[in-house]
Amino acid sequence: MSQLCAGRIVVVTGAGRGIGREHALSLARHGAFVVVNDLGGNVDGSGGDLSPAQQVVNEIEAFGGKAVANGDDISTWAGAEALINTAVNVFGDLHAVVNNAGILRDRMLANMTEEEWDAVIKVHLKGTFGPSHFAAAYWRDQQKAGKPVDGRIINTTSVSGIYGNPGQTNYGAAKAGIASFTVIAALELARYGVTANAVAPVALTRMTEGLGPAPETEADRDMRSPKWIAPIVTWLASAESKHVTGRVFEASGQTLAIAEGWHRGPRCAPVADPTQLGAIVDELLAGARANAGMDGEDGHWPQNAK
């Protein structure tokens, strides 16, 4: 098997378990030197333990790969900077950052607490911003110094964010923000030789095992395995993907797809009198596509009709 990422130095956050672990193992099998970052906390973000990250490093080293464990808290400014510095100091460079770390604090909007909102936004949204910021600054400086740059930012969004899921206003808002962050970062970083893309995974992991019915068969379990997410992330981290940027991919054991972002739909001339808008809005709605459901398809969102 050819090694897509031979010699590339890649940071993966939240890589101690689940989807992030599969990313780290796949990248290492394809020749990448991997910084395995994981705070080792619980699903809600509490606690901390470096051993999950170290176990992934041990697995990588067992098949001849190179990796180092890192327990920095990427939701903090200092932790994000220390993580990027680890890649540069240990392996001598940086080629890709996979922002994968996340937590859940699901609650219906009327019951959600400020702390539940802040915790999820901090880990997902700020935890994507911080490592991306320090990586971008590193690549900018490399480019200005005349050194070749072929950088990648690969973010983790979610169908809960781009399509919507009840009970996850905090998580969905963070993930939708990550999708927009990705598009804007792609526009900004192209001048430095850096791409930015996002992946919306669907898989059965420690974070998602309580959100739906348990798999009934081995085939179902295999289809929901996080192993199906790693191939697109590995390819996006490689030199082959330099022509792809600003895109959101859906990945699961059922599909690999590109999620198409907001586009302007039915339109009319501006209206000065709000009393005239009822019939006009109804006409616009009649010609508009319904919002997609969690499967990304039309027909699952209640129509706005009288």
Catalytic (active-site) positions = 158, 171, 175
Write the CB contacts of 204 (distance below 8 Å, at least 6 apart in sequence).
215, 221, 224, 225, 226
Pairing of strands 9-12, 96-99: parallel
When computed from its CA atoms, the radius of gyration of the chain, rounded to whole angstroms, is 20
Query: Which of 137, 96, 97 has its CA nearest to residue 8?
Result: 96
* Integer angstrom CA distances of residue 76 from 105, 122, 147: 19, 8, 29
Backbone angles phi, psi at 201, to 5 degrees: -90, 150
Q: Write down how long the chain is.
A: 306
HEC sequence for 45-102: CCCCCCHHHHHHHHHHHHCCCEEEEECCCCCCHHHHHHHHHHHHHHHCCCCEEEECCC
The number of angstroms, rounded, from the C-alpha of 243 to the middle of its chain's C-alpha atoms is 19
Are the beta carbons of 56 and 103 closer than 8 angstroms? no
